[in-house]
Amino acid sequence: MRDMDKNIRVLGLESSCDETAAAVVSGDGEILSNVVLSQIEEHKAYGGVVPEIAARSHITHMDRLIKQALREANCTFGDLSAVAATSGPGLIGGVMVGMMTGKAIAAARDIPFIGVNHLEGHALTARMTDDVSFPYILLLVSGGHCQILVVRGVGDYQRLGTTIDDAAGEAFDKTAKILGLGYPGGPAVEAAAKLGDEKRFALPRPLRGKPGCNFSFSGLKTAVRREVEKIGDSITQQDMYDLAASFQRALCDSILDRMTRALDLYLEQCPVGPHSLVVAGGVAANSFLKSNLRQLCLTRGFSIIAPPPSLCTDNGAMIAWVGVERLKRGMTDDLDIAARARWPLDPDAPPAKGAGVKA
Ligand code: KG4
Ligand code: ZN
């Protein structure tokens, strides 16, 4: 079976936010190419992603990136077994660009099309990189998403918690903006925090000790703003570092509190090991958060798996891999599948009030 898998080639396209990406992945999980073009520079002046600019940029670059991905994978369209493209959730104009391009290739070559849920891309990456078996618990933390899910199988998810306001990455980005550290804020806040005193400012730990596993981060960002206003014009570089460190500590404490509850819930549901926690999404690149989560996992007998940062942030390989997983199970889509701005992985979970289009 593995030998047959080797010959499978899936093209994956990603265009749901501010990365245009194309990749070719083989049936046994080898990444043959993975081309990602970030639009960060185009959105920088606005301090966040502008949907119209993003969609236009995807149109400009997608076909060139596909050619490059095929060339680097030593492939032609004729070698492809299927095409997978993000079909939601995300900024709808961008999603439509990648999805229509993928459909056109699939129609022209008469090969299967797979409309991929972007969140499933993040959720299943660890199976490509680390061969993790089902079930496992997933902490998905990025600029647009902040969720805890039980991953029971392909297309089979149970959401244990989600944010009721900002996503974790969004909190990093907004705090960076308040501190004048630039965009995207996560890496900048992490670097600044290394030089600061995490105990200097007493910031809130939203929802700590509360029932359930939901997150809330908007109060934390507001508390940082208040501290900056309190200090006023005399604010120093060291104040900024201390605020960054105190913010990162508070955000991590909140996540750890929520994750502790989630791991205990998971153990009740799935008592038979091995137990794995997978951390995915852009914020999974944060080493401070990862080392704190590692400690927590030790106390509960979980192994922790975090794919490399380049595969944690948005990319085409994760979409191609979902294509592989689904193709092998016969889970392909008709060409009339629609783009979806909202597309929860767990359709039975109640919608969370302020969780944005991606919850
Ligand atoms: O997964 P991703 O590339 O895009 C989304 O789907 O949202 O995640 C980007 C987010 C941004 O909010 C960025 O600030 C955050 O991930 N991020 C980090 C770090 N690196 C990226 N947050 C904290 N620490 C980091 N080192
Ligand atoms: Zn993402």
- What separation in Å is there between the alpha carbon of 201 and the centre of ligand 2? 31
Indicate the range of 108-112, 142-146, 195-199 predicted with least confidence.
142-146
Q: What residue's CA is closest to ligand 1, atom 5?
A: 143
State if residue 147 touches ligand 1 by the CB under 6 angstroms criterion.
Answer: no
State if residue 57 touches ligand 1 by the CB under 6 angstroms criterion.
Answer: no
Spatial CA neighbour of 16 closest among 114, 109, 91, 77: 91
Residue 25's pLDDT is what? 98
Q: Is the pLDDT of residue 159 over 90?
A: yes
Atom of ligand 1 at shortest range from CA of 185: 14
- Kindly state the tokens that stand for 119: 């969140």
Question: pLDDT confidence of 1, banded at 50, 70, 90?
Answer: very low
Q: Is the pLDDT of residue 2 over 70?
A: no
Once rounded to an integer, what is the mean pLDDT over residues 319-333? 98
Integer Cα distance of 275 and 297 in angstroms: 9
Residue 57's pLDDT is what? 83
**3 state SS of 274:** coil
Residue 43's pLDDT is what? 75
Report the Cα 177 to chain-centroid distance in Å. 21
DSSP 283: G
**Nearest ligand to residue 318 Cα:** 2
DSSP 165: S
Greatest CA span in the chain, whole angstroms?
A: 66
Once rounded to an integer, what is the mean pLDDT over residues 69-83? 98
Higher pLDDT, 40 or 208: 208
Higher pLDDT, 57 or 65: 65
Percent of the chain with pLDDT over 90: 82
Integer Cα distance of 278 and 257 in angstroms: 17
**Is 114 in contact with 42 (CB distance < 8 Å)?**
no
- Let me know if 200 is exposed, middle or buried by CB neighbors in 10 A (0-12, 13-18, 19+): middle
- What separation in Å is there between the alpha carbon of 192 and the centre of ligand 1? 16
Beta strands (DSSP E) in 60-112 are 82-88
Report the Cα 277 to chain-centroid distance in Å. 15
| Domains identified in the chain and CATH numbers | 9-129+310-358 (3.30.420.40), 136-306 (3.30.420.40)
Residue 351's pLDDT is what? 77
Bridge partners of residue 339, in order along the sequence: none
Residue 231's pLDDT is what? 94
Residue 28's pLDDT is what? 95
Give per-residue pLDDT as tens, 90-141. Answer: 989 999 999 999 999 999 999 999 999 999 999 999 999 999 999 999 999 9
Percent of the chain with pLDDT over 70: 97
Integer Cα distance of 285 and 296 in angstroms: 17
Residue 8's pLDDT is what? 97
- What separation in Å is there between the alpha carbon of 231 and the centre of ligand 2? 36
State if residue 93 touches ligand 1 by the CB under 6 angstroms criterion.
Answer: no
Residue 332's pLDDT is what? 98
* pTM given for the model: 0.92
What is the β-pairing status of strands 302-305 and 156-162?
Answer: unpaired
